[in-house]
Amino acid sequence: MIKATGWLLALVVFAGVGRAQAPATQARIETAPIELVAPERYQLSEVLEPVRKVTLIAPEDGVIRGLSAHLGQVVREGAELAELDRNEALARVKIAAAAVKEKQALLDSKTADPTVVRYQLEEAEARAELARILLDRCTLKAPFAGLITAVPTTIGQFVLKGTVIAELADVSSLKTRQPIDRRKAAVGGKLTLEIEDQTVEGTIQAVVPLPDDYVVLRELATPFALAWVSAHNLKGDLVPGLRVRSASVPRAPIAVVPKPSIKHDDRDSAGGAMVQVIRNEYVVNVPVQILGEVGPERMQITGAFRGADSLVVASSSPLLAGTLVRFGGGARGVEGTAPSPHLGGSTATLGAPGGNAVISGGGSPPPGSVPPASSRRRPGNQPRTGSNAPF
């Protein structure tokens, strides 16, 4: 959120190596503090799941006589995973087969009504077929190629009908849920998945409204939806349970700023948005992502902000990144952190809001000269190097 402030006049020093000392210039700068929201609040991790999985259960009460399924084993389609005791089922098959023979003999003898006997024979054949089906069910086979993810039983264990014998997952493709900007979501579209330490391209299979466990995302201005995304596991290096991070959810601090403070970098071919902040008395360009409008005059953005940053809402003169800014106008000077120990701006003074702002040039001293006192640093307060603006 933005707390409104008035216009302040600031001393602004352009810190450029090799520039000659420039005359002082005045500028009117309107700044405002930034209230940040930590991005961790919106980081909701999902995991990879198999595109399909089955639970193999005992079809009847019985004892497990064979168990070839092992946890973590990859099996082919049709592979035998377990076998229940078959003795009772075999006996039922023999009884049914004998009944069929009996009815067939009765029909051949022509001692009874052939129509009635023919119906009895059909019934006996159906019971025989049912007995063979029950016998086949004693052997549990893999309905598809996959990974054994659970084997909660052992050989010799008596199990009741419906007891879980093993669990099988198809890991040729994996799926996950991901929050996504509804305006960019399309079934069949591609979405980048960040899975642990690797990046994989997935395909959007379905788009649904946000469920209750994602309600926190409704605080953001982006209109989020939930996408089911699948990814092919061609190399076999993806396994169920791996964490997946969303690339659509902000990972930098979030703030709400006035629309006029958002600018577009002309040097960026993509026309990326940015805002300017005053950080340690220096102007810093912060690239931002626009999440959406939160009112007629405000935008919600995310970027690499810091808690002590002061947002530049407007300025009477263009401000370059690395410009030293000091507000003031009447007391003894204030010295900011310079990007180089050999650079220093003119002495600035503090004053009441509304005082004049001065823009002056900085430059490198002649070779062999002593840096000005304002640019000297005490031990422990050494300036950072390698950048036009301290970060």
Give the pLDDT confidence score for residue 220 in this predicted structure: 94
54, 143 Cβ separation under 8 angstroms:
yes
Provide mean pLDDT across the span 195-218: 92
178 part of a folded domain: yes
CATH code where residue 96 lies: 2.40.50.100
Range of the domain at 129: 53-167
Q: Is residue 197 domain-resident? A: yes
* 2, part of any domain: no
Q: Evaluate whether residue 150 is within a structural domain.
A: yes
Predicted pLDDT of residue 145: 94
Q: What is the pTM of this model?
A: 0.65
**Cβ within 8 Å of residue 238, ≥6 positions away:** 48, 171, 174, 195, 200, 231
Same domain? 240 vs 285: no
Boundary (domain end) residue, out of 139, 167, 195:
167
Residue 319's CB is within 10 A of a number of other CB atoms, namely: 21
Average of per-residue pLDDT across 208-217? 92
Give CA 62 to chain center in angstroms.
47
Same domain, 151 and 293: no
Question: What's 367's domain CATH number?
Answer: 2.40.420.20
Q: In this structure, are strands 323-327 and 310-315 parallel, antiparallel, or unpaired? A: unpaired
- The per-residue pLDDT for range 111-126, each reduced to its tens digit, is 888 889 899 999 999 9
Q: What is the 3-state secondary structure (H, E, C) of 210-237?
A: CCHHHHHHHHCCCCEEEEEEEEECCCCC
Query: What is the spatial distance between Cα 327 and Cα 358, in angstroms, rounded to a whole number?
Result: 9
Chain centroid offset of residue 255 CA: 20
Instruction: Please report whether residue 387 resides in a domain.
Output: no
139 and 96, same domain (yes or no)? yes
Residue 273: predicted pLDDT: 92
Q: Is the pLDDT of residue 345 over 70?
A: no
Among the candidates 216, 245, 274, a domain finishes at 245
Q: Read off the pLDDT of residues 50-98 as tens digits, 9 standing for 90 and up.
A: 999 999 999 999 999 999 999 999 999 999 999 999 999 999 999 999 9
Between residues 214 and 348, which one has the greater pLDDT?
A: 214
Do 46 and 185 share a domain, yes or no? yes
- Is the pLDDT at 351 greater than 70? The verdict is no
- Both 181 and 46 in a single domain? yes
pLDDT recorded at residue 70: 93
388 occurs within a structural domain? no
The predicted-structure confidence for 250-290, as pLDDT tens digits, reads as follows 999 999 999 999 998 666 544 589 999 999 989 999 999 99
Residues 26 and 82 in one domain: no
Q: Report d(CA 291, CA 302) in Å as an integer.
A: 7
Residues in the chain: 391
Q: Answer with the one of 245, 270, 287 that is the final residue of a domain.
A: 245
DSSP string, 58-118: -SSSEEEEEE---TT-EE-TT-EEEEE--HHHHHHHHHHHHHHHHHHHHHHHT-S-HHHHH
CA angle (363 as vertex; 376, 366 as ends), nearest 5? 80
Provide the pLDDT for residue 258: 94
Residues 15 and 157 in one domain: no
Residue 380 inside a domain? The answer is no
363 lies in the same domain as 258: yes
Q: Are residues 259 and 111 in the same domain?
A: no
Q: Are residues 325 and 183 in the same domain?
A: no
- Same structural domain, 239 and 273: no
**What CATH number did the domain enclosing 234 receive?**
2.40.30.170
Number of domains in the chain: 3
Q: Indicate whether 386 belongs to any domain.
A: no
DSSP, res 297:
S
Of 38, 40, 7, residue with least CA distance to 255: 38
Instruction: Tell me what the pLDDT averaged over the chain comes to.
Output: 80
List all residues 6 or more positions away from 37 whose beta carbon is below 8 Å from its beta carbon: 253, 254, 255
Are 87 and 180 in the same domain? no
